[in-house]
Amino acid sequence: MPLHDTVHTLTQRIRERSAPTRAAYLAQLDFHAQRDRGADRLGCANVAHAFAGMPGNDKFRVVAERARNIGIVTAYNDMLSAHAPLRHYPELIKEEARRHGATAQVAGGVPAMCDGVTQGTPGMELSLFSRDAIAMATAVSLSHDVFDAALMLGVCDKIVPGLLIGALHFGHLPTVFVPAGPMTSGLSNNAKAKVREQAAQGLVGREELLAAESAAYHGEGTCTFYGTANSNQMLLEAMGLHVPGTAFVNPGEALRAELTREAARTVLGAPGAACAPIGRVVDERCIVNAMAALLATGGSTNHLIHWVAVARAAGIVIDWDDFATLSAAVPLLARVYPNGSADVNQFQAAGGPGYVIRELLDAGLMHEDVLTVRPGGLREYTRLPVEDAAAPQAVRLAWTPIGASGDDGVLRPADAPFSATGGLRLLRGNLGRSVIKVSAVPEDRHVIEAPARVFSSQAELQQAFQAGELDRACESHPSHGLVCVVRWQGPQSNGMPELHKLTPPLAVLQGKGYRVALVTDGRMSGASGKVPAAIHVSPEALAGGPLARVRDGDLIRLDAVAGTLDALVDAADWAAREPARRPDDLARADAHGWGRELFAGFRRNALSAEEGACSWL
């Protein structure tokens, strides 16, 4: 299938824009790739320190026999359900490496926090910049410079982008990402959301709410909704950085362990087909493929921040206009919660990432002529891994064609999609630039025009809801509507936390028939649910963005059809307004406690959300 004109034109535009930075990146990659291997290049004391902790046979193999050495960077901890299975991975990898005449070492660990635990708490204000801390920790791990390849063990929200940014700064190394898969299905996402709304109204108590949450989040593996963690896995498959079909196999399955072994085999390369360095794999075509997969599945809006940063790490410059251009051409092929009722296990059963990639390739909406970590290229990612009992003992894997969708309520072909355009949309206007996840919002809510109520924190909004103020505000306007503006939530303000605590009250208001929307310079990811939410507003209020000019009662128009976000205020009045200042007590509170002092440099140096909120550029 010929490449779609939009994909071709967009890729060329990104290539031309990125030419200087990409050339500089590749020159650095080539410099490192041409050096002697670490064990030959380093001094004797350096080498002795590097391998002193290895078993004797491994030490002899890597030093005397010049065996390849894999560096393992792991995000293992047993606080994250998604990362708990990783505890066993290093030994599997080391064992498999030995079978192939290689060695492996745990090069280092990276921090990994659970956003589900920290939602609505001060700890959530460390979340976004934990990505850059993870990238730094990855660099520290690989800085020992004795590795011939790397495996990245991690799954969740900021962890995968952080590992990827760090790995790209060692772009000369072949690198494969190794996930752990989703937990088995528990209480459905729709049922969980209903109990949360009941709790917000005081209809059920803490005991009932905790029982529902515990039934939803009940075991090892990622959460089963299609949020940032599971979007990460979809994007890595589309970029060719996984063993094909690895993303959504549940922990504990025999197939899961075999796929982990296959990751070691893959990064070592097949005879005559070495695994490509990650800095060569991740080029502008690869980034466009990731963008297409995100749009086709209605994935997490967080990736409009994270993948901008990932691209920058490889010398590639993208922005939200690029996502908007591609979204007009890429159809929505998946309905997975929050833009549908299915969970990721149902998504996998219906065909999963392989189905989506095949449909996009066949429609000319992804680049097929790309490098991946596999010799067969991106077509390998359109098949499903299965256990093969007839295969030799050392390799019990085979890949089979996926075929038609197993459930057309979850996955549809590119010629009969859920929507002709992608699940994300860019909004522009006198309030700045922002994004909205339209795939989750009912069509009759794509345009909201209502007066503003301005808040400085999500706690303020929750208090107003509990006091009945938001109901009264909706009732008092002819539109029976309200636009809640929550500012001082951007990267420079408080680290841009996700505002998940806003979802239940806003959903309750919408459920009563009120026309409500959220506008914020903070993040919401998939948690906005069916409520229209213009998020990531840039520039943020603290950086002089227009949200600082909004006042209670201003008429706000959020139009996801036209792609606009405006305060309907006289232009002269708007221009003459003095921007509000962040309250001093809020500034002090956001800077202290829970380790937030240590992140002051991240906040101070952060670029805008549209620039990836990077603190290292």
Phi-psi region of 240 (alpha: psi -120 to 50; beta: other; left: phi over 0): left
Peptide bond into 539 cis (omega under 30): yes
pLDDT of 391 over the 80 cut: no
Question: Is residue 427 a contact partner of residue 563, using CB atoms and an 8 Å limit?
Answer: yes
Report which of 18, 3, 564 is spatially closest to residue 322, judged by C-alpha positions. 18
pTM of the prediction?
0.95
Residue among 404, 580, 368, 366 nearest 488 (CA): 580
Q: Which residues of 330-364 are buried (b: 16+ CB within 10 A; e: fewer)?
A: bbbbbbbbbbbebbbbbbbebbbbbbbbbbbbebb
Q: How many CB atoms within 10 Å of residue 398?
A: 14
Phi-psi region of 553 (alpha: psi -120 to 50; beta: other; left: phi over 0): left
Structure confidence by residue, pLDDT tens digits, 89-145: 999 999 999 999 999 999 999 999 998 899 889 999 999 999 999 999 999 999 999
The predicted-structure confidence for 247-277, as pLDDT tens digits, reads as follows 999 998 989 999 999 999 999 997 778 999 9
Interacting residues of 3 by C-beta distance below 8 A, sequence separation 6+: 364, 367
Q: Quick one: tokens of 417?
A: 């999609």
pLDDT at 527 over 60: no
41-94 per-position pLDDT tens digit? 999 999 999 999 999 889 989 988 899 999 999 999 999 999 999 999 999 999
Residue 282 to residue 161: CA distance in whole angstroms: 13
- DSSP secondary structure letters along 285-307: HHHHHHHHHHHHHT--TTHHHHH
Instruction: With a cut of 80, say whether residue 394 has pLDDT above it.
Output: no
Which amino acid, residue 91?
Answer: E
Tell me, what's the pLDDT at 580? 97
Q: Does residue 515 register a pLDDT over 90?
A: yes
CA dist., res. 303 & res. 14, Å (int) = 17
Q: Is the Cβ–Cβ distance between 444 and 532 less than 8 Å?
A: no
What does the pLDDT read at residue 393? 60
**What local confidence, expressed as pLDDT, does residue 438 receive?**
86
pLDDT at 396 over 90: no
Q: Distances in Å between the alpha carbon of 273 and those of 212, 259, 371, 375, 391?
A: 50, 19, 12, 6, 21
CA distance 491 to 152: 26
DSSP codes of every residue in 408-457? TTTB--TTS-SBSS-S-EEEEETTEEEEE-GGGS-GGGSEEEEEEEEESS
- Which pLDDT does position 459 carry in this prediction? 93
Give the chain's count of helices (H) and strands (E): 25, 14
Query: What is residue 200's predicted lDDT score, i.e. its pLDDT?
Result: 86
DSSP state letter for 366:
S
